[in-house]
Amino acid sequence: MTNQSNGVKNRAVAQWVAEAAQLTQPDQIVWCDGSEEERQRMTRDAIASRVLIPLNPAKRPGCYLHRSNPNDVARTEQLTFVCTPDKDGAGPTNNWMPPDETYAKLRGWLNGAMRGRTMYVVPYVMGPVGSPFAKVGFELTDSVYVALSMRIMTRMGRAALELLGDSDHFNRGLHSTLDLNPERRLICHFPQDNTIWSVGSGYGGNALLSKKCFALRIASYLGRTEGWLAEHMLILGLESPEGETTYVAAAFPSACGKTNLAMLLPPQAFKGWRVHTIGDDIAWLRIGADGRLWAINPEAGYFGVAPGTNAHSNPNAMKTVQHDAIFTNVAATPDGDIWWEGMGTEPPAGLIDWRGQKWDRGSGQPAAHPNSRFTAPMTNNPALSPKANDPQGVPISAIIFGGRRASTVPLVVEAYDWSHGVFFGASMGSETTAAAVGQVGVVRRDPMAMLPFCGYNILEYFGHWQELVKRLPNPPKIFEVNWFRKDREGKFLWPGYSENMRVLKWIVDRVKGRVGAEQTPIGLVPRKEELDLTGLEISTAQLQQATSINAGEWLAELDQVEEYFARLGAGSFNGFEERIKSARAALAQWR
């Protein structure tokens, strides 16, 4: 076995890598340094082994296509485990197995798993280097696709080793694709050991351990013990024509348009307004010395859903994926470019589908997988905020919770206070999407969009949110939004995409105390004249439907929420019961 690690000074790292190598028996170990020379070498290897297909450099310079195993195209929540010493530590929403048993089982699977393969040692930093938020992780992986993707998604390489010094405080991620057999696929988290073992999958959310596994599941646990929050949130800055920038963080379940909102290009009528992206998926939030909540994006790239991305829905994303991007499970055109449903162009003749077969237009099957993805560095984004690398992060003035709901939830509603906002987050629901294996389009409760990502007991997590505000003299205001409400014919009531700017502006004006709102049993909603609708064609009736609170729908919603909380054991939790009771009483009087 070759191993060029001899120079590594950190003994904890060297010992842990040696143990993993002894178990998995790779032919060689490659320590990644993050250099350009290394990227080129690994890319050549990936092309030679047909893991990456180069795209036409005249059309997409530096871009590659990856086709995954068709059985491995989304996160597998049923195979994802939080392995705390007792079941209660993982709580009612996580799959649980005891740590010792899990390690033993996975050791059996991993025994010799990397024979004939290379083990890449991928050191990475989450957060701007030098930030008090920053944390170091290592991923040991036998997938060159994962190693190259980690290079895009994180600050990968030598910087991590330098930052770590001789500390042993780093996330220990071990990943092997094994034989991609779903029968031997498990994504296991050991929060107490700051450790992740992921086997049998090469899919981003299962295999890029920095992302969901470390930056959300393990980090949420670390946040609980260290007094901060790791959240499934985008972060954006909204700059007014006067040059005032307000930062908001927004949680939506997977594939509900976080990337689109984070990169939003304001509509024509909003001259002089700009949206700056800090992050599109994950926020780490801490209480600052000034008593405000500060946020960073721990990632350095985007792993976005491709289908539906086009020049209208997200022009900045289209520019972001123009060069130096990796595409996974999209369709390929005969001239070496890529295509997906909802790209805004006709499918060209001779299209190759995501499985690598000639696409049959009449088959009714999509050419790109519905959860096909692009992986691109954040520096490609024309809307990237100058603060994206700021070690201090940005101060958050508003938190938004959103879901995909065909009915009930209005376009926007403001919570009366932080604790009411925690109730918004805890009770939110959304229709499921293709980002996770399972039925698509059914409403499921997804507290704070963290259902698949909270690495400890969700009841403790709600408590952590409620406690945090005691140390937060200037908390952000909290809102709930829904871009996806439909009319009786099933047509969306709100145009969405860039027009969501109008809702963001109302939110900013609420934060600044510049605009009014109407009190309803659910929270504060804008009156028609309080939303800036300049240049938007929307009928009064349509807007009214999009923003209305319907008593019947809400009474049914509260029944479901109550039932969900009861199932979690959160029935009498933190005033949730009283919230439901008083909302019901107010709804009984509602017009």
Phi, psi of 91 (to 5 degrees): 80, -175
Radius of gyration of the CA atoms of the chain, in A: 24
**CB-wise, 280 or 562, nearer to Mn ion?**
280
**CB-wise, 282 or 394, nearer to ligand OXD?**
282
**CB-wise, 43 or 254, nearer to Mn ion?**
254
Take residue 47 and report the two structure tokens written for it.
Answer: 């092309």
- CB 534 to Mn ion: min, Å: 33
Give the residue at shortest CB distance from Mn ion. Answer: 281
d(CA 274, CA 413): 23
Strand duo 28-31 + 2-3: pairing: parallel
The one-letter code for the residue type at 324 is D
Span interacting with Mn ion, options 170-178, 253-261, 369-377, 573-581, rule CB under 5 A: 253-261
Q: Around Cβ 56, how many Cβ atoms within 10 Å?
A: 14
Q: Tokens 């057999």 — which residue? A: 181
418-427 vs 458-468: helix crossing angle, rounded to 10: 160
Are residues 433 and 372 in contact, defined by beta-carbon separation less than 8 angstroms?
A: no
Are residues 106 and 190 in contact, defined by beta-carbon separation less than 8 angstroms?
A: no
- CB 244 to ligand OXD: min, Å: 30
Q: Tell which one of 72, 77, 280, 281 touches Mn ion (CB under 5 A).
A: 281
- CB 127 to Mn ion: min, Å: 17
- CB 73 to ligand OXD: min, Å: 12
**CB-wise, 238 or 451, nearer to ligand OXD?**
451
Start-to-end CA span in the chain (Å):
75
Pick from ligand OXD, Mn ion, none: which does 75 bind, CB < 5 to 8 A by kind? ligand OXD
Question: Which residues form the catalytic set?
Answer: 256
As beta bridge partners, residue 275 has 238
Pick from ligand OXD, Mn ion, none: which does 296 bind, CB < 5 to 8 A by kind? none
**CB-wise, 295 or 435, nearer to ligand OXD?**
435
**CB-wise, 29 or 449, nearer to ligand OXD?**
449
User: Of the candidates 321, 300, 310, which has an alpha carbon nearest to the alpha carbon of residue 378?
Assistant: 300
- CB 208 to ligand OXD: min, Å: 9
Span interacting with Mn ion, options 100-108, 135-143, 146-154, 276-284, rule CB under 5 A: 276-284
Pick from Mn ion, ligand OXD, none: which does 507 bind, CB < 5 to 8 A by kind? none
Are residues 227 and 287 in contact, defined by beta-carbon separation less than 8 angstroms?
A: yes
Q: Tokens 């918004």 — which residue? A: 424
Q: Could you say which residues in the range 145-204 bind Mn ion, by CB under 5 A?
A: none
Pick from Mn ion, ligand OXD, none: which does 435 bind, CB < 5 to 8 A by kind? ligand OXD
Are residues 410 and 345 in contact, defined by beta-carbon separation less than 8 angstroms?
A: no
* Interacting residue ranges for ligand OXD, rule: CB under 6 A: 75, 205, 254, 281, 303, 435
Binding residues for Mn ion, per CB under 5 A? Answer: 254, 281
